[in-house]
Every structure is written in structure tokens, then in C-alpha cells.
Chain A
């Protein structure tokens, strides 16, 4: 059975290798973004969905990852295959840093501190002077591999795909591991988890660190895919996008994260003719989903479509 499952993954991966054969540059860019945002949503789900903490720092995690990759590539000529893991590690440390106040602070306080942190990071990018290129941002150089310049979206796709495959299986394994179950236990009740001899502090810190690692690495990919980053790209507007992806797909679900990211990346492409209404529509989507389908699209499918089974760990309700 295990072999079969592993093969299923491999099968999907091999199929995905051939996606550039059927895309043009524009659709390829969208595919790249979808893969990046699936990782972003998964990482967000670890703190928000599985561990149930009001961490609103996800957009800044993405920003830190993007800036670390971009700046090390521009300033130090670091190759992308070192810059992207570095993004993950740096953002993991930032995640750990956010994890400490998350241990002590009531949920609303944590929301406020992380919102303040998001604004603080924007301030750092803008006033970082020469080092962060100030308010107008900067262009990301083309990644190079053994002297070969990867300049098109289709070439960048293979970088994104490899990192995506590694991180996606890592996250899936993580969520189904003992630690993943401990996340949910801590969400349900700190003291209840302690009674089961789970070190709740350690668990929360791990959740924030790993979430930082996943979203930060995704940030590195993001900078390669989007080619130009600016301080304003990682503020509250970005955060709401992450929220919609998590909520629309289904809080605390891997399949939900995938659905949320795909829908929210593709949807605006069909809404170009009503661009002015986009913000309003996004907002209404969240309101309607929370009111009428609080378990998201995936939760809806499980409930009403016969034959679709639950994921092993499903954690829709958050305190």
C-alpha cells in the first residue's frame, strides 16, 4: 500500500514535468504562482489551521523569504540553489522569534503583534536604504545553473517544481507525523495536550519555525517567479490573499490548501474585466464562506459528495 502511495506521488510528479509542453509563457507563469501559493497556504495552515494560533505574520514570512533570496542573489551573487534554502532558514528563525510571544500572548494580542510586525517589515524594506533598494523595490536576476541562464517562465518552472515536490511531501509527512498530531492537540487545549505529556511550548515553537521555513522557502521561489519585488507586495493585502486561500479551501486541510491556492490564483485572471470589483468580491467570498460553509470547499465536498473520504487529520474548528 505504501509503495502504491509513493508511486502515486511519483506519477503526478512525472505528469507535472510535462506541463510546460501545453502552456504558453503566460499560463506557465500562473502555474508557477499556483505551486508557490500552495506552499504558502500549507505553511499558513500549520500555524493558523493545525496549531490554531492567530498568527497574522504569514505575508511577512513570504516577504522575508523573497527579500533574502533576491538580495543575496543581487548583492552577493549567490546562486539560487543556495539562496532559496537560505531564505527558508532565515525565515524559520524569524518564525521561531514570533513563536516566543505566541507562547504567552492571548490570541488577539498575537494578532496585533503580528500585524505590527508586518508593518515593521515594510518599514525596514522602505528605509533600508541602499541595502533593500528602498520603496521602489528591485529586479531579481535570472537564476543560473552551471553557467546556463534560466530566463523563461518554463525554465524557472523546473526550479519551482523540484522545490515544491520536496516541500509538499515534507509538509504532508509532517502533518501526519507525531508532531503534526501534537499541533492539533495543542490547538484543542494547551493543558489537555500537556496532560498527554506533550510539551505544548515546544510544539508551538516548532509550528512557527516550520511554518516560517515552508513559507520562507516559498518566498524564495516567489521572487524567482515574479522577477521584481517591492515593499508593498507583502502587506495586509497579501495577507488577506493568504487568508482567503486557507479559508476557501478549508482550514486545516492539505487538499483544502491546494484547492484554495489554485482557485484564488486563477480566479483573478477571469475577473480582469471587473478589476475594480476584485477587492470587494474577495472580501465577500470570505464572508460568505465563513457564514455558510465554514469548513471550506473541501469540507463541503466531503460532506455532500458521496465517496470522497476525509483526510486523516482534519482540523476545521479553531478556538
Chain B
């Protein structure tokens, strides 16, 4: 039984990881903590749902289209709001991201209504049994996608010119602009990248849970917990933290109480900040 619990914890955790990485990428590039990341995560599967069910586009094509569309939405958010707020106090930036939660959730309710919808799994509803552990096709797809994403993203970050620009910009915006990087364009692209990651996470988890306008709000707190546990602003930290949160939640639910599962993330946030605010990876917040 414990293996089954650990497995579903890891599947859930990998979604938290992916989502948290999206937040960290943006935070590192713009020093903005995006409270509306959960809504980008929610809009991804909704768009895919509409493309598949109403416009009868091929499922895989519609996933790619939805991710691109949300990425574009991220860029629009930057162009429309955050480009003007680049020099603004942090409070104003945070307020706008909080407000966008309501803009996007409200928009989703206007367009799709409040009823729960389902996205079909990527490779059918089947499951594989290994010993006494059962793993659904969609869970395998999630693990594979997150693993591929992590490897690919690390490779881009470490070995390509675009990755080097990302690293430079994330270390010091002023330094990056001194060596000829266009900060405005850099931040715009990072909004797109971060939004795309959020949409990908939403589309992967959509078939497992269900899709509804509130689905992102809960995930935001899990991502906060993952970032805090792993080390705020660190990409490996977010990956490790996310996996751990997923596992801890499932273990708590099984061995202690299902009610406590809801608050394990908040408890972790509060304990970590009081005991070791730098988290596992140990980065100091600027």
C-alpha cells in the first residue's frame, strides 16, 4: 500500500513541481511573485477542452494550441500591465497579479460557467499493474512529461544561448542590460515561458482531477509551499520541494487524517519559515 501512496504522491508532486518552476522562472526574471499563475494553469485545460469538444480539433494539436495561446496571454499581460510597472513598488505589482486572479476566474466563469468539466486522458483510460501497484496511463504521461520537461529545460538553461541569457537576466537585470540584453524583451519572453509552463501543468493534471474555474487557487498555495520548502527562487529547489509536498500530503492523508491533508502545505510553509527560511537548497532571498 505504501508504494501506491508514494507513487500517487510523486505524480501529484510532479505537477506541483512543474507549476512551481513556472513561478520561479518568472520570479527570477522579474522579481514578481505571480499570484495569478493558478489562473493561467486553469485557462490552459479550459482552452484545450473547448478546442477538442466544440471545434473538434485533434487532441494533441489542441494541447499545443492551448499552451501557445496561454503563453501569448502571458505576453499580453506583460505588455498591457507589467511593462508599465517595471519600476513600480512591489506592492503595486503584487496587487495587479492578485487582481488578475479575479479577472481570469471571472472571465472563465463568464465563458464556461461554473460546472465541472473533464478533459480526456492523453493515452486512453487504461492502467498498468506492477505487483500490487496500479498506475494509470495519464499518471505515466504526467511523470514522463515532467521528466522530459526538466531535462529539456535544464539543457536549454545550461547549454543554449537563450538559456545563458535567461541565467544572466535572472542573476542581475542591471548586469544583463549592461552586456546588451534587452531587459524589456527578456521579461516579456519570460512571462510567455512561465505562462506556458503553467498551462502545460494544467493540461497534464486536467484528466486526473477535473477542470473548473477555482482549480488554480488551491495549487497556488501548494506551489508556495514547494518553493518555500525547496528554497525560494531556486529551480531545483522548486522541483524537489514540489515532489516532497506531494508525497507528504499523501502520507499525511493515509496515516494521520484526510482532513489534515488540506493543511499540510500551510503547516510546512509556516514551520519552514520559522525554522529554516532558506529551505532545502538554501538560497537567500534577495
Contact with A along B79-100 (1 / 0, CB 8 A): 0010011001111101110111
Which residue of A54, A119, A286 is within 8 Å of B99 (Cβ)? A286
Q: Could you tell me if A290 and B33 are in contact, using CB atoms closer than 8 angstroms?
A: no
Q: Could you tell me if A319 and B91 are in contact, using CB atoms closer than 8 angstroms?
A: yes
Enumerate chain A residues within 8 angstroms of B263, measured Cβ to Cβ: 119-120, 123
Secondary structure class of chain B's binding surface, majority of residues: helix
**B116 at interface (Cβ–Cβ under 8 A)?**
no
A73 to B102, CA, bound (A): 35
Enumerate chain B residues within 8 angstroms of A317, measured Cβ to Cβ: 89
Enumerate chain A residues within 8 angstroms of B228, measured Cβ to Cβ: 109, 112
**A74 at interface (Cβ–Cβ under 8 A)?**
no
Q: Could you tell me if A287 and B88 are in contact, using CB atoms closer than 8 angstroms?
A: no
Q: Could you tell me if B103 and A106 are in contact, using CB atoms closer than 8 angstroms?
A: no
Expressed in whole angstroms, the minimum distance between the Cβ of B222 and any Cβ of chain A is 11
Contact with B along A277-319 (1 / 0, CB 8 A): 1111111111100110010000000000000000000000111
Expressed in whole angstroms, the minimum distance between the Cβ of A9 and any Cβ of chain B is 31
Interface size, B (range): 35 or more
Q: Could you tell me if A105 and B277 are in contact, using CB atoms closer than 8 angstroms?
A: yes
Q: Which of A84-134 contact B (CB under 8 A)?
A: 101, 104-109, 111-113, 115-117, 119-120, 123, 127
Q: Could you tell me if A280 and B110 are in contact, using CB atoms closer than 8 angstroms?
A: yes
Q: Which residue of A lies closest to B113 (CB)?
A: A276
Given A276-B110, A279-B106, A280-B106, A319 and B90 contact (CB-CB distance below 8 Å): yes
Q: Which residue of A lies closest to B103 (CB)?
A: A283
Enumerate chain A residues within 8 angstroms of B94, measured Cβ to Cβ: 54, 108, 111
Q: Could you tell me if A111 and B33 are in contact, using CB atoms closer than 8 angstroms?
A: yes
Given A48-B91, A319-B90, A109 and B277 contact (CB-CB distance below 8 Å): yes
Q: Could you tell me if B103 and A280 are in contact, using CB atoms closer than 8 angstroms?
A: yes
Given A112-B224, A290-B95, A318-B91, A101 and B273 contact (CB-CB distance below 8 Å): yes
**A65 at interface (Cβ–Cβ under 8 A)?**
no
Expressed in whole angstroms, the minimum distance between the Cβ of A260 and any Cβ of chain B is 13
Given A108-B33, A120-B266, A280 and B102 contact (CB-CB distance below 8 Å): yes
Q: Could you tell me if A283 and B84 are in contact, using CB atoms closer than 8 angstroms?
A: no
Q: 6 A–B contact pairs at CB < 8 A?
A: A116-B266, A282-B106, A283-B100, A286-B98, A291-B96, A294-B88
Top 3 nearest A-B pairs by Cβ distance? A280-B106, A283-B102, A279-B106
